[in-house]
A and B are shown apart, each in its own frame.
Chain A
Amino acid sequence: MKRTTPLLLAGMALLLGACSNEGAGTQARGPDPKLPAPERGLLPDMKIAEPAGWGNQKPTVPQGYTITAIATELKIPRQTLVLPNGDILVAEGRGGNAAKLKPKDVIAGYIKAKGTSKVESGNRLTLLRDADGDGRYEMKTVFAEKLNAPYGLAFANNKIYVANQDELVSFDYREGQTRAGGPPTSIAKLPSEINHHWTKSLAVSPDGRFLYVGIGSNSNITERGMEVELDRAMVWQIDAGTGAHKPYATGLRNPTALAMHPETGQLWAVVNERDELGPDLVPDYLTSVREGGFYGWPYSYWGQNVDTRVKPQKPEKVAAAIKPDYSLGSHVAALGVAFSRPEMGQNFANGAFVGEHGSWNRTPPVGYKVIFVPFANGRPAGQPIDFVTGFRDAEGKTRGRPVGVTVDPRGALIVADDLSNTVWRVVPNR
């Protein structure tokens, strides 16, 4: 693993005073993480995934499970959706059009791009079909194209809902359809200026009446100014019939995936927290999303921990900030969440799978795996368990980066991998 910092270019390595080298063991996970004091050296820690192909290798899954690649050579797969007939839709694309405002943006952007796929944005939905149920998805066809960085997917009311980076749209759907009948219908425009965090996550209420769209902030921590944070860092509730929207919960820095708890009907989200406060701040989290709740961004994190980088501050907002339910660890970059079902096997029947894309702002890196958070009575209960690993090897070569996770009701976990442009399927052995 190469250590890449602009500092090295300048030959000023001695100034790297506060770079931490603590292992993943210092990561506080669970409902009540112990948070260290903020720290930041002269330069942020940057450790970038060094991409390498899978070759004959595969990710590692627990004993009693099998993983196979069901689609390869996609164009940046992000989120997936299992349709009622078992077909899988894959949203492919890359979004964002944030201007580089500081010399730092130019340098950091260049470095971060080294750890992502070079493939062109697909801007499409691909449909995968396993007609004979043998676990091989023999059909791979484009369901819809010319979308604008599609990400969140949901199915309800005989419609496929797609959250593009600028607009929530729907396609009418008949069972068995392999190609959209026409261009999509617009439901609501979504905030898309700058789109520093461009991914628009999506979930639908159990009755199909409301759609929930996660909208990320337009900066790490207001460094693009407060003006551009209007309608950002929040979850919108959108009426599926009229397109009318309201903020459902706010202060969620980057709610990258949403899911409805199957028993309680409660909305849950994984949220990516702010960077550049040290290797073990700020934990990304899994939380139930309370209507009207404020979760801290930008003024504070994990409840009332004030972020002094934000000026002017708002003490009344800090006081109102809700503590999230469950820490996933700092910088893991959770980008996918899906609730499990009994079909996934006894040990993984009740809980949430979380896809962790992996860190850039931490040495050594963390994430780069799919974990399982056990639940009991509709709440997280216990430490997370690794479910799919092996995306990074010991030498630091990175073969894949997990994004969206989806549970197939027939008993399979679908994992999108946007570095190797693969969709993986994990099934319990029978």
Chain B
Amino acid sequence: MPRHRLDALASQIGGRCEGDGSIEVDRPCEPADAGSALDLPLIFSAEALGKLNPGGARAALTVEGLALPAGRFSGLIRVARPRYALAKLLPLFLPTIRPEPGVHPMAIVHATARVAPDVAIGPFTQIGADVEVAAGCVLDGNVTVGERSRLGAGCRLHGGVRLGPDVVLGERVILHFNVCLGADGFSYATPEPGSIEASAVGSRVQARNYAIERIPSLGRVVIGDDVEIGANSAVDRGTVGDTVIRRGTKIDDLVMIGHNCRIGEDCLIAGQVGIAGSCQIGNRVVLGGQVGIADHVTLGDDTMVMASSGVGRDVGPGMVVGGTPALPRQQFFEQLLGLARLKRIAEEIGGLAERVRGLERSKDRPET
């Protein structure tokens, strides 16, 4: 790994250097793993300090205000926001593993595809007709790029990524293993009203589905600049319009985004989220893990949805909601606390009922 001086690192990550800034480090690590003089343990809490390996490390990255044993380290970097500091620090230690530019002899690139000279394309990757791959892109092995797709500069497609036809990627898009963009949407129709439409008025199924006809997807998937999509996530193409994910949005592994969805800028979408078709998600929305969103729902800008929640109706901007069906956070907590209290409330009511019965018995008893 590359080696860095402590004072240089501090200035690069917006931290403050204390003690000997000339110390060199080559590996950020968990406190328990800090065995070498070149290690940089990350100590962001008293608990983490308790786990520190007693030998080895001469320097540490820590948080402002955390007390460390005097003399334990010869040099420190102190930061105000540890996780943000990590985002700046860790890239400096990434090994440079960019493959050599060029098309691997076992890749298949269509004669009409336009690939910038410095692009790297790995073995068994297929590039379709009329595809454009801009400068600086790296496509690992076993990637498929459908015809007429456009990849902006500096995109990184890891092994197993599948892009259907007409997918558009902005610049610096990162797609992790097996991301699938541009499959057909889950869109079907029946000649007569089927069970979904008919059962909306009662709790018994009122109609049957038959002769289910598929509605093909003619739209595209359009991904903005600096979007990152985690492994095994899928984004379906639009029916006639496009499915769009705007600039800066980050998506975790195993996320499903349905056809015609419009996702805003700088959203954070955690693992196992499922967004049904035609949803409008505003800018800077945060969706916790396993959130499910019903079709045609709109979430306003800056909405936060707590993990494992089910959203079936629109949510206004800036709201924090949780539960199924999702409610404003305070209401959700009241509901949880109410459920937790039920046993004790039942016991108290039982006790009161017993007392009332006792009072009634004593009232009915003839006075002596």
Query: Is chain B a partner of chain A in the same complex?
Result: no
Binding site for B on A (CB under 8 A): none
